[in-house]
A and B are shown apart, each in its own frame.
Chain A
Amino acid sequence: MEDKREIKVKVMNLTKQFDELLVLDDISFDVKKGEFLCIVGPTGCGKTTFLNSLTKLYQPTKGEILINNEPVDLKKHSIAYIFQEYSTMPWLTVEENIRFGLSIKHMPKELADQKVEEYLEVVGLTKYRKYYPDQLSASMLQRVVIARAFATEPELLLMDEPYGQLDIELRFKLEDELLNLWKRNGTTVIFITHNIEEAVYLGERILVLTNKPTKIKTEIKNDLPRPRDIVSEDFVNLRNEVTDLIKWW
């Protein structure tokens, strides 16, 4: 089935070279508006370089990234990132942390108040609004980060293995919350992970990367019905298929 959504992000011939070392080799792909795209690759593939080039933290050696057909401009396009490390500000409370992203974007106070309430509620942290990060568990911290990211209603949400350190039960719980927020807001998400099961559980499409120099090995469409059942035969087959594509161990 053809995906008829308009193109949100267009990556063209992205190449990154550090001195003699070619890290990203001519990567091109599109992300549709509102799409949930997962990217998996073998350990040690240029995952971080890839992400940093996408966000223009590094100037790519060659290539272009367009959002809404314009070159990426962090001042114009709102992009949110969520990393594996909990990037909450330790000196701010839960509620102040969520407000932080909004005040950076100069949102009027009343609207910001409303957003903070809304997202505290969505991630179930209303009771903990006055807590400081060091009083919270790992999964609660990651909820704060998610709330902060979604509250700014970004055009593009980049996630770099955000649940790598959580145990499986919590991971599934947070993944389900993420999927709900994604559907609710229609956000475009790029989710990078080493965890194949996670990629198969979340994505509408999976981009498989090669080892360095990183290229796109292949692209797999994933239209398993949701909620997905990790024990079902289809799920296991798809998981095996992706595993075979990157297995190095």
Chain B
Amino acid sequence: MESKTSRFMRKNMAAFMTIVAFMSLLLVWELVARFTNAGMFLPPASEIISKFVESFTVPIGKHRMLVHIGVSLYRVGVAFIFATIAGIFLGVSMGYSKTVEAIIKPIFEFIRPIPPLAWIPMSILWFGLGDQSKFFIIFLGCFCFITVNTYDGTKNVDHVLLGAARMLGASERQVFFRVVLPSSIPYIFAGLQIAITAGWSAVVGAEMVRSDEGVGWLIVMGMTNGNTVQIMVGMLAIGIVGYILATAMAKLEGRLCIWNQQQGI
């Protein structure tokens, strides 16, 4: 019989390892930055962390950190909502209708490999320097993932389930809304999860287009001024918020797709 403490140890082993790994990374970083020549290009971890903490009370540029994060989140949020609506609509249409698939898919596949950053000049031309062009770039960063996953989901509906619904008297419209759509939801969520992370990553590129705030702006501005600490504070903020977003999305999926968890007796 194992004791209570050893069981506690075993269960928390993974968390423990993660903490140790993080601590070691920070320690090595700190030592390298302070005691080698690399310090010229790499500010010490402690300096970045203290600057990061400080930025919540002392503004960088015109704003404090929460405002920067808030503004970026707002941009990503708006773009993400549009991308979700458009992506699900397009993905479902391509998956369900052979005609739409034939018309749209080649064009889509052609546009897909173009990175969002490549669109910056054109988006400035089309949407100007305001928030709209930022929405557009982030939108492009999310949209493809949602479309592709939704499309896969609708394509992969189990044919036996379609037959079962028809045998029970469902009309084609009911088959679509009651079988095709729900059975695609796990795919759609997988897409949303990749997309929110991708959209959040695209924020740096989007905020390269003239702006006075946002976590991307922190980096772009730090680059202009040669302020490595500010660059890395921006990176840290992006990393932390990205992690929180991904986790929240996974939690939401767990809530909405209880049925998708395999827990047979």
Chain B residues near A17 (CB-CB < 8 A): 1
Residues B1 and A61 in contact, CB atoms below 8 Å apart: yes
- Determine chain A's interface SS by DSSP, over half rule: loop
- Which chain B residue lies CB-closest to A17? B1
**Does A19 count as interface, using CB distance less than 8 angstroms?**
yes
Q: How many of B's residues come within 8 Å of A, CB to CB?
A: 2
Contact code string A103-142 (vs B, CB < 8 Å = 1, else 0): 0000000000000000000000000000000000000000
CB neighbors of B among A2-57 (8 A): 17, 19
Number of residue pairs spanning A and B whose beta carbons lie under 8 angstroms apart: 3
Chain B residues near A61 (CB-CB < 8 A): 1
Q: How many of A's residues come within 8 Å of B, CB to CB?
A: 3
| A107 CB to nearest chain B CB (Å) | 40
Instruction: Name B residues whose Cβ lies closer than 8 Å to a Cβ of A.
Output: 1, 7
Contact code string A57-75 (vs B, CB < 8 Å = 1, else 0): 0000100000000000000
Q: 3 A-B residue contacts at CB 8 Å?
A: A17-B1, A19-B7, A61-B1
Contact code string A199-237 (vs B, CB < 8 Å = 1, else 0): 000000000000000000000000000000000000000
Instruction: Name A residues whose Cβ lies closer than 8 Å to a Cβ of B.
Output: 17, 19, 61
| B56 CB to nearest chain A CB (Å) | 42
Inter-chain CA distance A122–B98, complex, in Å, is 52
Chain B residues near A19 (CB-CB < 8 A): 7
| B241 CB to nearest chain A CB (Å) | 36
Smallest CB-CB A-B distances: 3 pairs: A61-B1, A19-B7, A17-B1
- Which chain A residue lies CB-closest to B7? A19
Chain A residues near B7 (CB-CB < 8 A): 19
- Which chain B residue lies CB-closest to A62? B1
- Which chain A residue lies CB-closest to B265? A44
| A204 CB to nearest chain B CB (Å) | 34
| A120 CB to nearest chain B CB (Å) | 37
Inter-chain CA distance A19–B7, complex, in Å, is 8
Inter-chain CA distance A108–B62, complex, in Å, is 77
| B1 CB to nearest chain A CB (Å) | 7
| A61 CB to nearest chain B CB (Å) | 7
| A18 CB to nearest chain B CB (Å) | 11
| A211 CB to nearest chain B CB (Å) | 14
Inter-chain CA distance A247–B250, complex, in Å, is 44
Chain A residues near B1 (CB-CB < 8 A): 17, 61
- Which chain B residue lies CB-closest to A61? B1
| B263 CB to nearest chain A CB (Å) | 15
- Which chain B residue lies CB-closest to A15? B1
| B220 CB to nearest chain A CB (Å) | 51
Inter-chain CA distance A61–B1, complex, in Å, is 7
Inter-chain CA distance A19–B8, complex, in Å, is 11
- Which chain B residue lies CB-closest to A44? B265
Inter-chain CA distance A17–B1, complex, in Å, is 8
| B8 CB to nearest chain A CB (Å) | 12
Inter-chain CA distance A19–B1, complex, in Å, is 9
| A239 CB to nearest chain B CB (Å) | 28
| B264 CB to nearest chain A CB (Å) | 12
| A62 CB to nearest chain B CB (Å) | 8
